Amino acid sequence: MPVNLPKTASSIEKICQDAECAEKIASLSEAEQNLFKTFTYCPYCAEDLTFVCHTCREQLTSSEYKFCPWCGVKFDESKR
Ligand SMILES: [Zn+2]
Ligand SMILES: [Zn+2]
């Protein structure tokens, strides 16, 4: 068991890898961002959305992860 896990919970974010889309997504309201998390494709460019760790911004291959494989943070499932 790793002993150095951060105590604070993080969350999985969905992003578009296009910088312009990422800017638009970042400026969405909280309610819109919550809705955005349910999307599969980017509403601005129709590309596949990518899961990233909110804490270390590394790319995740699944939204089902309970912990970040890169930084070890726990994902708060209530924030999905
Ligand atoms: Zn996009
Ligand atoms: Zn991480």
Domain boundaries, the chain: 9-79
Burial status of residue 4 (CB atoms within 10 A of its CB: 0-12, 13-18, 19 or more):
exposed
Q: Which ligand is nearest to the CA of 73?
A: 2
pLDDT single digits (tens) 7-28: 678 999 899 999 999 999 989 9
Rg of the Cα atoms in the chain: 13
Distance (Å) from CA 80 to ligand 1 centroid: 20
Q: What global pTM score does this model have?
A: 0.72
Distance from residue 7's CA to the centre of ligand 1 (Å): 33
In sequence order, the 6+-apart residues with CB closer than 8 A to the CB of 77 are 66
Tens of pLDDT, residue by residue over 13-69, are 899 999 999 999 989 999 998 899 899 999 999 999 999 999 999 999 988 999 999
DSSP state of 7: S
